[in-house]
Structure 1
Amino acid sequence: MNNQRSQRKLEHIQLFKEEYNPHYTGFEDVHLIHQALPVNDWDEIDTTWCFLDKICKAPLFITAITGGHPASEKINRDLALVAAETGIGLAVGSQHAALYNEELVKTYQVIRTENPEGLVFANVGAGVSWDLALKAIEMIGAQGVQVHLNAAQELMMPEGDRKFTQWLNNIEQLVKKSWVPVIVKETGCGLSRETVLRLKEVGVEYFDVGGSGGTDFLAIEARRAQLPVRLQLSWGLPTAWALLECLAVCGNQGHLWASGGILTPLDWAKALALGAEAVGVAGHFLKTYLDNGLEGLANEIKEWQRQLKIICLLTGVSSPAHLKAAAKVITGKTAEWQKLRAGDVYGCKAISSFHA
């Protein structure tokens, strides 16, 4: 089983290169309004993000995708170097393999070797017991732990899990035992308001919506299972829709993060404008790294940071945290989804056009 899990991690990276095909996230329907008369000078725009006592240069992190196979050690090493250089966070991929095979621990610990002072998130599945989850945190000295919900992916895998009823209890126990925040995330199918309500009842305060539109693990697993294209399952909530769902439940009482199909600095800004505190990017950054190397990825992230600052200035806000108050218009399918599922989440009656 351990060898099978490790081999699967390698296949995920290999198939990612073939299956990465970003699609609709809902951010296409979100429009930030240009303010031609700036109210801030350039030097007054502050893009820093504070997670507990750790200050990052921007509310951005490279989110989970790699780990668990010897071949991923170099990728994790380089991503850690990029995170350190650009001053953003980094989440490792699922640590299951290393929890059962000590030889793979170094494929994760390399990120601490290369980025000893950086913001790092551990990663386990909801099927992992709280005691093993704590070992995952200790393994990399993480400041937070992501618990991923990937039922759809598991069901597409012939060897995947089929028992899920213990998941919520595992999360509840981890929230009680963990000395770092527990961030519950989806892996590409989005968090619904019903799911968030259940998680809030057991004490979860941090949510990463992990919507559809980016890396499609269902397509990757379908390829692994050699299913024909006509039988591949298209499923999940686009990221913007999932954000609206979570915002409708949490309001200002939770910490919402966004990941899933974030491809540009403008997507990043739109996610923040819809209520996200921070944004995670996996597929696009991994592809940039594979195509252009460590330096290419570092340069792209620096440009993202510069353009986020531009967007803040041109929308009349002084920081990314204030983008949620920027004037915006929501149109199309996302406006309809907001009307039917999310309600009046911005405190105003208009659905397709409003000032927050």
Structure 2
Amino acid sequence: MNNNSIEYRKLEHLIVCDHCDVEYKKGTLLEDVELIHSGISNCDLDDIDTSIEIFGKKLNSPLIVAAITGGHPKAKEVNKNIAIAVEELNLGMGVGSQRAAISKSYLEDTYSVVRDHTSSLIIGNLGAVNFVEDSWDEEIISKSVEMIDADAMAIHFNPLQEAIQPEGDVNFKGLNILKEIISNYNKIHGKIPFIAKQVGEGFSKKDAIFLKEIGFDAIDVGGSGGTSWAAVELYRIKDEEQKNFSNQYFNWGIPTAASILEVNSAFSGPIIATGGIRTGIDIAKSISIGANCCGTALPILKAALKSSEAVTTVLERMIKELKTTMFLTGCNNINELKSARYILKGDLKNWKDQI
């Protein structure tokens, strides 16, 4: 196999994420969100309702397994294990970039396997840069939607990863063509929610204004604090000079909590918080400051490489933590959590004051 092929690269990403230190050294700034404890609670923990409705689906909790993988036979097993757990708990999931299957049809089943195991929310995934570099159009979106019977389509923006990646596509100029492409898709193939997705560096207020104008229905902030794709690519680089260059960007990006505030100040559609979401407390804090739903990836990948049961265990733990946090803040449901009182501290407070 050609070591520069997409298929090989997908396998490298799985191996690096499973075995190497790829998480940001700086935090999400969710540590600067203090939820106010309710000393009387006034809730029954067993009756707390964490369900939400998003993209035409009702989920039992505001939790999505964020886009992880596809495009390699090993990825098929990972996606299968995630889908089984998602179906059991009635959550949502996204697949990794479908570019591999667009270029090599024999890899389609590494993505489509998810529909063999769940009828829950499935989010497709294509790269924004490819609509410029490869002249993709609405028919590529249609093929990707059909591949997994997607309920929504994420278009990911990853300029840092592409700049660091040896095989990177770096022409992000002219992304306003997405406005016409999204409009054409909705006219020709029927409307589907489009999600603008960052992959670890976050979106700013200025970005949110641009994405709203393009016609995106939702934004996944993909903030810094979780997996650093500069770190992932760093482990793949052989040249020492390039390694030193890449290492400077290990911690580049807008922390997740700050990105939620930035986007929420300019965008009224659903906001998904990803990037370092590791606990139910993180979910509760994210929702209280403006997110509608949260996603997590790296802990799920590590579990999915073992079994579907391991994935279920991680997700159940996060849901239990979310319910407990809601109980301790006197919130009976997610709408009440959205109105829960909180205090911003430290760097996050300073950041909000400058938005």
Q: Same fold (TM over 0.5)?
A: yes
Instruction: Give deviations 1:204-251, integer Å, cap 9, x for gaps.
Output: 22000000111111111122123556431131101001001011112x
Q: Tell me the residue number matched to 1:297.
A: 311
Alignment of 1:196-235 (within 5 A): 196-226=208-238, 228=240, 230-231=244-245, 232=247, 233=249, 234-235=251-252
In the alignment, is residue 307 of structure 1 matched against residue 324 of structure 2? Answer: no
Question: Partner letter of residue 229 of structure 2?
Answer: F
In the alignment, is residue 58 of structure 1 matched against residue 61 of structure 2? Answer: yes
Q: Tell me the residue number matched to 2:153.
A: 145
Contact (CA 8 Å) 2:29, 2:256: kept in 1 or not?
A: yes
Q: Tell me the residue number matched to 1:164.
A: 172
CA distance in 1, matches of 2:233, 2:300: 21
Worse-superposed segment, 219-228 or 308-317: 219-228
Q: Tell me the residue number matched to 1:69.
A: 72
SS at match of 1:31: strand
Which residue of the other structure, out of 144, 153, 158, is the alignment partner of 1:136? 144
Q: Tell me the residue number matched to 2:347.
A: 333
CA distance in 2, matches of 1:318, 1:175: 39
CA distance in 1, matches of 2:326, 2:180: 38
CA distance in 2, matches of 1:20, 1:226: 17
Q: Which runs of 5+ in 1 are unaligned?
A: 342-356
Contact (CA 8 Å) 1:188, 1:213: kept in 2 or not?
A: yes
Aligned residue pairs: how many?
Answer: 337
Which residue of the other structure, out of 12, 18, 21, is the alignment partner of 1:19? 21
Q: Tell me the residue number matched to 2:92.
A: 89
SS at match of 1:188: coil
Instruction: Give deviations 1:81-128, integer Å, cap 9, x for gaps.
Output: 11111111010000001011110001011100111x111000001123
Instruction: Give deviations 1:34-71, integer Å, cap 9, x for gaps.
Output: 10112232354211111243211101110111111122
Query: Alpha-carbon deviation of 1:165?
Result: 1.7
Query: Alpha-carbon deviation of 1:14?
Result: 0.9
Worse-superposed segment, 274-283 or 165-174: 165-174
Q: What is the root-mean-square deviation of aligned Cα atoms in Å? A: 1.8
Question: Partner letter of residue 218 of structure 1?
Answer: A
Q: Which runs of 5+ in 2 are unaligned?
A: none
Q: Tell me the residue number matched to 2:31.
A: 28
Question: Partner letter of residue 118 of structure 1?
Answer: S
Contact (CA 8 Å) 2:279, 2:318: kept in 1 or not?
A: yes
Q: Percent identity?
A: 35
Q: Tell me the residue number matched to 1:238.
A: 255
Contact (CA 8 Å) 1:175, 1:181: kept in 2 or not?
A: no
Q: Tell me the TM-score normalised to structure 2 length.
A: 0.90
Which residue of the other structure, out of 299, 311, 321, is the alignment partner of 2:335? 321
SS at match of 1:166: coil
Q: Tell me the residue number matched to 2:182.
A: 174
Which residue of the other structure, out of 292, 296, 303, is the alignment partner of 1:281? 296
CA distance in 2, matches of 1:53, 1:96: 25
Q: Tell me the residue number matched to 1:346.
A: none
Question: Partner letter of residue 221 of structure 2?
Answer: V
CA distance in 2, matches of 1:227, 1:72: 28
Question: Partner letter of residue 194 of structure 2?
Answer: V
Query: Alpha-carbon deviation of 1:137?
Result: 0.7
